[in-house]
Amino acid sequence: MLAALLSRPYLQKLGRAVTAADIAAVPKVIGRYRGGDVAEALSKGGGAATFHLENLGDKRYRAPVVVLLGPGTGSAAEGFAWGMKTWSNARLVGAPTAGAILSGEDFDIAPGWSLTVPVAGHWSADAEDLNDKAVTPHEVVPETRADLCVGRDAGAERAVAILAGV
């Protein structure tokens, strides 16, 4: 299982801390984690769904992978980083993420105005609460003002070096 997505109404109905048994009982979705698919899965699952990796067999990508991340990495990108760190051999390089993995939904409140409200959170298969927790890279590569001023991206340079086997 990659992750469990549990909506606020589902959690309120549960009325207690989430357990691994709760996660195991949630409806499964395999290989689909796109906007409409997520909404459909939550609707069918009473506000909860677990998302599982698709078995790609021989089609699975096996070459080295590096994921760049930093404080601007949040929301779905943060979930992606967590999944890559947890379920793959990818090497994460950069700085810790924003710690903003909660799923939000926009609500229109007046003409030209909307409000984004957290509506669902994410848990691991063993019921670890992933909400508001930064993903830390395997290798921290600080981004300095001096590097930015000269147009140097130390994280990208390190990623290229890793892929080159240096």
Tell me the pLDDT band of 41, cut-offs 50, 70 and 90. confident
pLDDT of residue 1: 59
Average pLDDT over residues 22-46: 79
Strand partners, 69: 94
Element (H, E) at 36: helix 35-44
pLDDT at 67: 97
Least confident of 76-80, 108-112, 124-128, 154-158: 124-128
Give the tens place of pLDDT for each residue, 49-106.
888 878 888 988 889 999 999 999 988 888 889 889 988 899 999 999 998 887 777 8
Predicted TM-score of the model (pTM): 0.73
In the chain, the domains with their CATH numbers are 3-56+63-163 (3.90.226.10)
Q: Which residues lie closer than 8 Å to 1 by C-beta, 6 or more apart?
A: 23, 28, 50, 51, 52, 124, 125
The two beta strands, 28-30 and 48-52, are parallel
Mean pLDDT of 143-164: 94
